[in-house]
């Protein structure tokens, strides 16, 4: 078990500086996504260190379960950034309402998981109370629903009505969106693994002390793949803020282009009226 915990500690400690760099480069539109990705990496470092010190540490098990929440929030944050750059007509108030409600749902899920896991681990020497187990199950089910909702949200973002092709941030925003879509199956594997481990009494499914093969294949690798994909697309789109500043509001030049088109139409109508007046005078 020590090898996995050491790898987790070393890998996420090494990934934290690139995440901070991308966080700075993406600025305000990407704040949520990169903040939560950094929080996820930090929790994995802390969890790995605690497990190395004591593999049966109940706090390490708790951190392993609640570590899913920043990964889900990082996914939704990057999806929000992608939508921000892809759609110049995005309704900000409605979008932020959705983001806020999603955060509340994930917070409720992780709160229930934390409360249930803490109570179950406190009574590890005896059979856990059914009420504590129920709280834990409701919490992890809530996180599973949260993952399902971000999947729907991401697919919905592909609709033609959710994009403005002339937007200067369209291309980097689309790259971020596609990476979010690619990461969802890996994040789903991790959430499903936690769900099955909580609903099952099989000790080998425990994300902290269970079978090393299952831990690596269903926990460590899916999380790492998602984190790496996020970091790579963040580095690939690190100039997105510079592109967005061209317009000044962070979402490309679509509205400016539309204004130019309207101005051109008005000018053409004015020219036509002028020519009609000239023809009338000539007659």
What distance, in Å, lies between the first and last C-alpha atoms of the chain? 96
Q: What pLDDT does residue 198 have?
A: 86
The CA distance from 93 to 99, in Å, is: 10
Rounded Cα distance, 196 and 273, in Å? 73
Residues 8-37: tens digit of each pLDDT: 889 999 999 999 999 999 988 899 999 999
Token pair of 267, please? 């000018």
- Rounded percentage of the chain residues whose pLDDT exceeds 90: 46
Predicted confidence (pLDDT) per residue in 55-83, tens digit: 555 566 677 777 889 999 999 999 999 99
Model confidence, pTM = 0.82
Give the span between the Cα atoms of 44 and 3, in whole angstroms. Answer: 14
Ramachandran assignment for 27, one of left (phi > 0), alpha (psi -120 to 50 degrees), beta (any other): left
Q: What tokens were used for 244? A: 């967005």
> Is pLDDT at 122 greater than 90 in this prediction?
no
Indicate the average pLDDT of the chain. 81
């Amino acid at each position: 078990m020590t090898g996995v915990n050491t790898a987790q500690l070393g890998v996420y400690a090494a990934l934290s500086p690139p995440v901070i760099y991308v966080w700075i480069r993406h600025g305000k539109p990407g704040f949520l996504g990169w903040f939560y990705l950094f929080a996820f990496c930090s929790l994995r470092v802390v969890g790995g260190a605690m497990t190395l010190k004591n593999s049966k540490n109940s706090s390490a098990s708790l951190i392993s379960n609640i570590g899913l929440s920043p990964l889900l929030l990082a996914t939704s944050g990057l999806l929000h950034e992608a939508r921000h750059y892809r759609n110049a007509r995005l309704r900000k108030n409605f979008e932020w309402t959705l983001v806020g409600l999603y955060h509340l749902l994930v917070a409720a899920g992780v709160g229930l998981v934390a409360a249930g896991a803490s109570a179950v681990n406190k009574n590890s020497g005896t059979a856990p109370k059914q009420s504590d187990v129920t709280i834990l199950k409701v919490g992890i089910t809530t996180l599973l629903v949260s993952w399902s909702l971000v999947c729907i949200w991401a697919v919905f973002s592909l609709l033609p009505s959710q994009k403005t092709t002339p937007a200067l941030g369209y291309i980097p925003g689309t790259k971020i969106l596609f990476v979010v879509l690619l990461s969802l199956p890996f994040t789903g594997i991790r959430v499903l693994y936690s769900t099955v481990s909580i609903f099952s009494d099989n000790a080998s499914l425990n994300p902290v002390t269970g079978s090393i093969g299952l831990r690596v294949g269903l926990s460590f690798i899916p999380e790492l793949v998602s984190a790496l994909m996020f970091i790579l697309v963040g580095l690939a789109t690190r100039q997105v803020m510079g592109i967005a500043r061209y317009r000044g509001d962070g979402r490309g030049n679509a509205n400016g282009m539309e204004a130019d088109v309207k101005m051109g139409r008005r000018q053409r109508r004015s020219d036509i009226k002028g020519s009609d007046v000239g023809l009338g005078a000539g007659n």
